[in-house]
Homo-oligomer: A and B are copies of this chain.
Amino acid sequence: MAEPLRIALAGLGTVGAGVIRLLETNAALLRARSGREMRIVAVSARERHKDRGVDLSPFAWVDDMAELAARDDVDVVVELVGGSDGPALALARKAIASDKALVTANKAMVAHHGAELAAAAERAGTALKFEAAVAGGIPVVKALREGAAANAIGRIYGILNGTSNYILSTMEATGAGFGETLAEAQRKGFAEADPAFDIEGTDAAHKLAILAAICFGAEVDFAGVTCEGITRVRAEDIARADTLGYVVRLIGMADLEAGDDGTTALLQRVRPCLVPKGHPLAHVTGATNAVVAEGNFSGRLLFQGAGAGAGPTASAVVADLIDIARGEIGAPFSIPSAEMAPMPRAEAGHRTGRTYLRFTVADRPGVLAEMTAAMRDAGVSIESLIQQGRQEEGGEVLVAMVAHEGPERNVQHALELLRGSDSFTAPPLSMQILGD
């Protein structure tokens, strides 16, 4: 048997403890599959004396985690600290500079600094792996980097945030409102005390930027993701969607467009969408993640599983360790960094699609005429319109419409025409309707 793979572990939260537990529980299996023993030699975290439910006594303790990267007895640094910059980034840079392989679950860091880190790892001839940074236990980075690598990917999209999906699918099942469902999700541990990162779409945007880089050979461009969360989705929207044959899901989607002048541009968006009930993503409920890749030869591929949690994330971290133990390194984003370049950002406005629009308006004469006139003036053709009878005297009236297939620009224009109107009790919500 070859030499052990010597691992340093930075960050001992639930995922770190999960990795320790996995390496222990599945030790014999991992030895058989990778041909080497996986041996943690050193660990580091903020607090040394905290009960994590795992025995740290076999490992060297290091107070300054950056020192892990300098140790002679370490082959791979596993970074589970989190945060796009700060200690995590310092450790990552130092590990690669010291010719160590780096495995990370840190989506924020890879989304912000993936291009730099990949270039450094390739120069050093070492591995940078981040399977755990996208969609938890689903081996989707590998699936796209390698399994579907024969394909030009037309579109990559999916449900990339478990918390948002838990909230939306719970609202769907219970009919409850957003605030109430969020509070329940927080009680049950499906949402953080500060949920902004998940429900505003940032977490999904991190993952989307990473997937897009792999699929399209563009430098990771997190700043290029337009992002809208689920905080404005109401119980009524989900009920309307249901009537129309859809469910509401927070969808991250990226695709390319070729300009007339031969340039290629990348569109990356995270936003709530209406998904047809016959679409595989409509059946994804709870804190599950699912990714769809459309290859020009493979057709539509779906990868689904737990998007977070100690076990699934540890599974992905250790899959990367197995690759490294087997000597399978390769370019982190599939195409070598030297051949990747920043890609221009595409304009969404000329994309066409069907759109769901929901207005909450004061119950008084003329409001419907005002809205429909704006649609007409912006060239938006209305396919269907539902006005909900008012619940109480002088109360809010909800008007939902579906716009026919047409340029997104027109819908945006209509909303601009209506901006500032005092007929609305809340800003209108528009959601793209996904095709089958």
Contact = CB atoms under 8 A, between A and B. Distances in A.
Given A33-B334, A142-B143, A150-B26, A297 B283 contact: no
A1 to B, nearest CB: 11
Interface in A134-154: 137-139, 142-143, 146-152
A429 interface: no
A150 B314 contact: yes
A220 B306 CA distance: 29
Given A315-B148, A322-B149, A330-B328, A297 B137 contact: yes
A354 to B, nearest CB: 23
A280 B302 CA distance: 11
Nearest to A138: B301
Of the four ranges (under 10, 10 to 19, 20 to 34, 35 or more), the interface on chain A belongs to: 35 or more
Contact of A151 (B147, B148, B302, B315): B315
Interface string A286-299: 00001000011111
B322 A297 contact: no
A4 interface: no
A66 to B, nearest CB: 27
A271 B306 CA distance: 28
**Stoichiometry, copies per complex:** 2
A304 interface: yes
A142 B152 contact: no
Interface in A300-353: 300-306, 309, 311-312, 314-319, 321-323, 326, 328, 330, 334-336, 339
A138 B321 CA distance: 23
Contact of A296 (B25, B148, B305, B326): B25
A152 B18 contact: no
A319 B139 contact: no
B303 A302 contact: yes
Contacts of A22: 150, 297
Interface of A: 18, 22, 25-26, 29-30, 32-35, 131, 137-139, 142-143, 146-152, 217, 280, 283, 290, 295-306, 309, 311-312, 314-319, 321-323, 326, 328, 330, 334-336, 339
22 contacts: A25-B296, A26-B151, A26-B296, A29-B217, A30-B149, A32-B335, A33-B335, A138-B298, A138-B301, A139-B147, A139-B148, A143-B143, A143-B303, A150-B318, A150-B322, A280-B304, A295-B315, A297-B314, A298-B305, A298-B312, A300-B306, A303-B303
Given A137-B297, A149-B322, 7 more contacts: A26-B151, A32-B217, A148-B319, A298-B306, A298-B316, A299-B306, A302-B302
Top 6 closest pairs, chain A to chain B, by CB: A139-B147, A150-B318, A137-B298, A298-B315, A302-B304, A297-B311
